[in-house]
Structure 1
Amino acid sequence: MVETDKIILRKTKLEDIERILNFEADNNQFVQQYNFSEHKEILESESHLSVFERKSNLLIGFVILAGILSSDKIIEFRRIVISKKGSGYGKDTVQLVKKICFEGYKASKIWLDVYADNKRAIKLYKLMGFIEEGVEAIDENRKLLIMSIANNQ
């Protein structure tokens, strides 16, 4: 468990998944949808973290980190969903993700992909030190930006 003055980030529990599925559904224009079994599998094989609002202790989001045991020490910041927007919870969550990856897992780099039309997320990632590495076309209408941050940034 890690925390800031606004949030607490802890390992996701099985009973958190139903709420997490709702968060994904509410943000389906920007995040891939997983089913219950897929989230359960991630709980067992990767890092699946729940975000709680500190003052209310309510579940407000989640994070998935992949590749935490990779030998190259490059971690994929696969997913972040925060249900309460505009309160700084996303910023605090990314700050804690960087701490977990760089200090806890000793990662050399964190990378992510984000839809190019998700301006709010891109602004946050840039604010937190992520840089654009490339663009990948999904189809003729949509693109993904590939972003990363190295441990020395």
Structure 2
Amino acid sequence: MRIRLRPTSPKDIPSIYETEQMEENRVYILPWEKERHQLSLTDPDIRHLIVEEADTSRVVGYVILAGLTNPHGSIELLRITISEKGKGYGRQVLREIKRRAFHEWGANRLWLDVKEENKRALQLYLSEGFIMEGKLRECLKTNDRYESLIVLSLLAREYDGQAGSETSKSL
């Protein structure tokens, strides 16, 4: 099933909040209050996007990016949250975000952090060409334990190199 990204509207906030509160999502993100999602919709530095199935327009997740006005061309992928796992939506979203970041928004660097325990997401980012930059050791306190974040990034020249090798593979 193919996906489509569209700007988030205020009417989407309840389903976003519901998706964040799902146990399989909540353990890997830092959920926002509904008000913070609402405020981000008008922030020129942030892109808040809904992930829909292209054929049915059924909402299957959302994406938040920050740094769109960053003068250094460094965009942060704050969050990809998908409500239905194992269908390839996350990979499709990540590929579309990379394309937009480098070809539409003129980024030099797309970066993110991911909880060290989120092995599924970490493997996805690595398989999509992101380079591990380091670890922020025990920087988050969740209930009674500390968690570490892995910082990853992809540069425009690396992305363009990937795109070129994908083209040559298909010839």
Residue in 2 that maps onto 1:148: 153
Matches within 5 A, 1:3-152: 6-26=2-22, 27-45=25-43, 46-137=46-137, 138=139, 141-152=146-157
| Structure 1 gap ranges (5+) | none
Q: CA deviation at 1:56?
A: 2.4
Q: CA deviation at 1:141?
A: 3.6
Q: Return the alpha-carbon distance in structure 2 between the equivalents of residues 54 and 86 of structure 1.
A: 17
Q: Return the alpha-carbon distance in structure 2 between the equivalents of residues 99 and 17 of structure 1.
A: 25
Q: CA deviation at 1:8?
A: 0.5
RMSD: 1.1
Q: How high is the sequence identity, in percent, across the aligned residues?
A: 35
Q: Return the alpha-carbon distance in structure 2 between the equivalents of residues 53 and 133 of structure 1.
A: 33
- Structure 1 ranges of 4+ moved more than 3 A: none
Normalising by the residue count of structure 1, what TM-score does the alignment of the two structures yield?
0.94
Q: Return the alpha-carbon distance in structure 2 between the equivalents of residues 49 and 124 of structure 1.
A: 20
Q: Return the alpha-carbon distance in structure 1 between the equivalents of residues 63 and 101 of structure 2.
A: 12
| Structure 2 gap ranges (5+) | 159-171
SS of 1:70 mapped into structure 2: coil
**Greater Cα radius of gyration, structure 1 or 2:** 2
1:42-79 CA-to-partner distances (Å, cap 9, x unmatched) read 11111000000123211110000101011001000001
Normalising by the residue count of structure 2, what TM-score does the alignment of the two structures yield?
0.84
Q: Return the alpha-carbon distance in structure 2 between the equivalents of residues 16 and 119 of structure 1.
A: 28
SS of 1:92 mapped into structure 2: helix
Q: Return the alpha-carbon distance in structure 2 between the equivalents of residues 14 and 100 of structure 1.
A: 23
Q: What letter matches 2:106 in structure 1?
A: K
Q: Return the alpha-carbon distance in structure 2 between the equivalents of residues 25 and 53 of structure 1.
A: 21
Equivalent residue pairs, number: 149
Q: What letter matches 2:59 in structure 1?
A: L
